[in-house]
Amino acid sequence: MSGLDRWWLWRTQSTVVLSPVLVVLGCLVSLSNADYADPYWLDLSSKSTVSVLFLAPGFAALAAWDGARWRRLAPAAVRSWIALLALCLSAVALATLLTFAITLLVLDVQVRPAGGAPRLDVLALGVLVVSAYAAVGFVLGRYLPRLIAAPLAFGLVWGWVAFTPAVQPFWMRNVTGNLGTSCCALDVELVPLALVAPGLLAVALLASAAVVLAWSWRRAAWVVAALLVAGSLAAAASMMRPVGADPVQRRTGSQVCVTAGSRSFCAWPEHDGRLRRAAPSLGRTAQRLAATGLDVPPRLRESTRAPGGWSFSLGGGNPDQWGKTLAVSPLDELPPPCTDRTGGVWPAGENLELAGAWLLTAGGADEAFAAEAQGASLRRLRELRALPVGDQVHWYARAYAAMQTCEPVS
């Protein structure tokens, strides 16, 4: 087979021939999981890599098929196994990058972020981990029959990338490179090592694959490969063990602020336009809540809790709905953490819907709308609203304090 040319090699690889199918399906997977995205480049970039869930096992299986095929042709092939792996991974990397680029372009057109640029480091990590898992599949194909190697590669990679987010310890999900399902709302950013840990493991997998292929059939190659993977996994785990379920932290940086009435409202720069449209509604809602007797702070920040739990959201919806998020914001962090210990038992939670409906009416909403929106009894809401305003505020204060605990309601 000395007459092989590089174009024949490309045209006969399953990772090349079937890559358009994976690109299309990968784009559909990412876009189906991006029903809402903020005009925040970190969010858009991470959502464009959700297809790692599909591309990683898909290309691992195709690479295994190609590896098994080259094993049959190896006696006549003039290229080394490292060269064949590089050829395979170049196709995988190009197809993965194309999938991310198409998805990101569609999200960019839909969301239209005001400024900034895509997070190339997030996209690069996605390409790196898909290539690393494809290298694992290629090695399996090098030593196993294709009908065993391909499904085995798909199953192993699928289990590692897709199943780990559902299990503990949490560090496991944070070293797979599947950032798309873990990142990133507008008010958070990645922890410093969020890209380093999965990147380190991916590099170790690539290096291990190269070692095994270069030292074919030598026992020492497998020992070195196992040590590389085990060492990188231990290091990645130590980086991610202090992190929670998602490798994110509170976002830092300055916000933009506008004044409406006697209060100022602040939001992240990506929501500057929404904040200016929402300011009149937010100002009216805050004024009505304060007039009812509630202690609404003079400065409120998007998705950042002020004393009393007050905040607001500028997510999907319209300016009137954004104003209503301010009214019910004290209830956003309920149920309290103690329900994890009580198995969900939360006696004071019986007043959650009524409290939410009352807050909406205190902010200026119609009673019927408020009751329906919060799932509360309209009759109970009207009975509460029939009391003197001071008694209504007193009821809410007691109910809100009780809902912070899991103690029985007295």
* pLDDT number for residue 299: 92
Mean of per-residue pLDDT scores for the chain: 87
pLDDT per residue as tens digits for the range 200-221: 999 999 999 999 998 867 788 8
339-357: average pLDDT: 85
pLDDT of 320 higher than 60: yes
* pLDDT number for residue 2: 44
Q: What does the radius of gyration of the chain's CA atoms come to, in whole angstroms? A: 27
* pLDDT number for residue 62: 95
Q: Which of 40-49, 67-76, 133-142 has the lowest mean pLDDT?
A: 67-76
244-272: average pLDDT: 88
* pLDDT number for residue 159: 92
> DSSP labels for 314-331?
-SSS-HHHHHHHHHTGGG
Quote the longest CA-to-CA distance of the chain. Answer: 94
A 10 A CB-CB count for 52 gives 28
* pLDDT number for residue 254: 83
CA atoms within 13 A on the CB side of 194: 23
Q: How sure is the predictor about 163, in pLDDT bands with cuts at 50, 70 and 90?
A: confident
Please tell me the pTM assigned to this model: 0.80
Domain ranges of the chain: 6-250, 254-327, 334-410
238-251: average pLDDT: 88
Strands 248-250 and 188-190: antiparallel
Q: How sure is the predictor about 77, in pLDDT bands with cuts at 50, 70 and 90?
A: low
* The two three-digit tokens of residue 380, written as one number: 């109970």
Q: How sure is the predictor about 383, in pLDDT bands with cuts at 50, 70 and 90?
A: very high
Q: How sure is the predictor about 11, in pLDDT bands with cuts at 50, 70 and 90?
A: low
* pLDDT number for residue 76: 46
Q: How sure is the predictor about 16, in pLDDT bands with cuts at 50, 70 and 90?
A: confident
pLDDT of 146 higher than 70: yes
Q: How sure is the predictor about 407, in pLDDT bands with cuts at 50, 70 and 90?
A: confident
* pLDDT number for residue 232: 95
**Residue 20: left if φ>0, alpha if ψ -120 to 50, beta else—which one?**
alpha
pLDDT per residue as tens digits for the range 167-195: 778 888 899 988 877 788 888 899 989 99
